């Protein structure tokens, strides 16, 4: 099994974030991927491989050019406002909500930051672009590995990506790595690709990127957006639009849904993957369904209650589809358990 790891992921290292109205220590830190890499190496779960640099044009197929240009130069613009900003993370504070215009890009950097973001909880740091761009290389390389004959390939592409839309960042995500992997599979000859998102939070960015397309089926099992982030997308009546009608399936679950309910939904999702007739599968592998995850927790309940044994069961269910698969690392914020949980997914697969 080839594991493409983002050797620049630690460049994106936030110290704090805004969470539930408070400035708190960041949840999305380099320790997340470090823990997974350490466990995978300890258990000899695969071959760690450096990804070649992918073509910028590939990323441009799933992201808007103006957004990518903004993201690449954002930190320099942040420092240009005030040199002491080097000691801070950049957070948006204003957004072009309903009745406000988005067709004219403001000259003011703070306004640009709001134009290209969806929330105030995703800190932009000095190394954000470098890390996110290198993560895209990992996703593209994992897709290439399937073309070269691999049954499964892993993209440890931190920071995560599934909340990033064509022209905005949010939910700790800046480049949508699952979308990059799917697009590369299509570019390399696959006629139809499915994306299965098992993160606790709906992959709003991935859905939106492919919502009007018929060459990608998007399927997601996640917390009900009426109560869970990202709140404004992920409902069951979102079926796709135009050419993409019928190629989008959301399986939202109420907060407090336990292991049995989650696996019932996963079974439906796996049936939909099979029925899609896809030639390759991309799994947005978020591990914040874990019982003790600090971000997906509220009212004494976290995730959907999964623990190590359930992650192995998940791996077995995905492997049973018998479809060449890219596993893209997404959420999961209990760093002390992430390594074990990720290893269990791959053990179940094996």
Angstrom distance (rounded) from CA 84 to CA 278: 50
pLDDT of residue 21: 82
Q: How far is CA 293 from CA 289, 290, 296, 335, in A?
A: 7, 5, 6, 9
Angstrom distance (rounded) from CA 23 to CA 20: 8
pLDDT of residue 297: 84
pTM for the structure as a whole? 0.97
Catalytic residues: 163
Are the C-beta atoms of residues 292 and 335 closer than 8 Å to each other?
A: no
Please give the structure tokens belonging to residue 41: 């190496």
Are the C-beta atoms of residues 229 and 171 closer than 8 Å to each other?
A: yes
pLDDT of residue 291: 96
Are the C-beta atoms of residues 94 and 114 closer than 8 Å to each other?
A: yes
pLDDT of residue 350: 84
Please give the structure tokens belonging to residue 142: 């994992």
pLDDT of residue 299: 66
Angstrom distance (rounded) from CA 170 to CA 221: 19
Are the C-beta atoms of residues 292 and 326 closer than 8 Å to each other?
A: no
Angstrom distance (rounded) from CA 140 to CA 325: 13
Residue 162's closest CA among 118, 192, 123, 124? Answer: 118
pLDDT digit string (tens) for the chain, length 350 residues: 999 999 999 999 999 998 888 899 999 999 999 999 999 999 999 999 999 999 999 999 999 999 999 999 999 999 999 999 999 999 999 999 999 999 999 999 999 999 999 999 999 999 999 999 999 999 999 999 999 999 999 999 999 999 999 999 999 999 999 999 999 999 999 999 999 999 999 999 999 999 999 999 999 999 999 999 999 999 999 999 999 999 999 999 999 999 999 999 999 999 999 999 999 999 999 999 999 999 998 767 888 999 999 999 999 999 999 999 999 999 999 999 999 999 999 999 88
Are the C-beta atoms of residues 13 and 125 closer than 8 Å to each other?
A: yes
């Amino acid at each position: 099994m080839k594991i493409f790891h983002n050797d620049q992921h630690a460049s994106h290292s936030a110290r704090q974030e805004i969470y539930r109205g408070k400035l708190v220590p960041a949840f999305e830190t380099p320790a997340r991927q470090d823990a997974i890499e350490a466990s995978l190496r300890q258990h000899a779960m695969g071959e760690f491989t450096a990804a070649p640099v992918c073509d910028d044009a590939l990323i441009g197929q799933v992201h808007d050019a103006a957004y990518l240009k903004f993201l690449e130069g954002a930190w320099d613009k942040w420092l240009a406002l005030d040199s002491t900003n080097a000691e801070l993370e950049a957070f948006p504070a204003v957004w072009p909500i309903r009745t406000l215009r988005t067709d004219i890009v403001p000259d003011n950097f703070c306004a640009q930051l709001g134009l290209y973001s969806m929330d105030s909880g995703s800190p932009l740091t000095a190394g954000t672009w470098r890390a996110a761009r290198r993560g895209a290389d990992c996703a593209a390389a994992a897709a290439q590995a399937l073309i070269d004959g691999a049954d499964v390939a892993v993209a440890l592409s931190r920071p995560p990506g599934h909340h990033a839309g064509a022209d905005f960042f949010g939910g700790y995500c800046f480049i949508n790595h699952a979308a990059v992997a799917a697009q590369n599979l299509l570019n390399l000859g696959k006629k139809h690709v499915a994306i299965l998102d098992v993160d606790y939070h709906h992959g709003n960015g991935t859905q939106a990127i492919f919502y009007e397309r018929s060459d990608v089926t998007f399927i997601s099992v996640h917390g009900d957006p009426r109560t869970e982030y990202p709140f404004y997308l992920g409902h069951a009546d979102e079926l796709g639009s135009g050419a993409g009608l019928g190629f989008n399936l959301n399986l939202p679950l109420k907060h407090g849904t336990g292991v049995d309910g989650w696996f019932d939904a996963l079974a439906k999702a796996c049936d939909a993957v099979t029925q899609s007739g896809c030639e390759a599968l991309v799994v947005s592998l978020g591990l914040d369904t874990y019982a003790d995850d600090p971000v997906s927790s509220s009212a004494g309940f976290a995730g959907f209650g999964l623990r190590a044994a359930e992650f192995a069961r998940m791996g077995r269910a995905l492997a049973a589809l018998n479809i060449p698969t890219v596993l893209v690392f997404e959420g999961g914020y209990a760093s002390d358990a992430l390594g074990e949980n990720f290893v269990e997914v791959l053990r179940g697969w094996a």
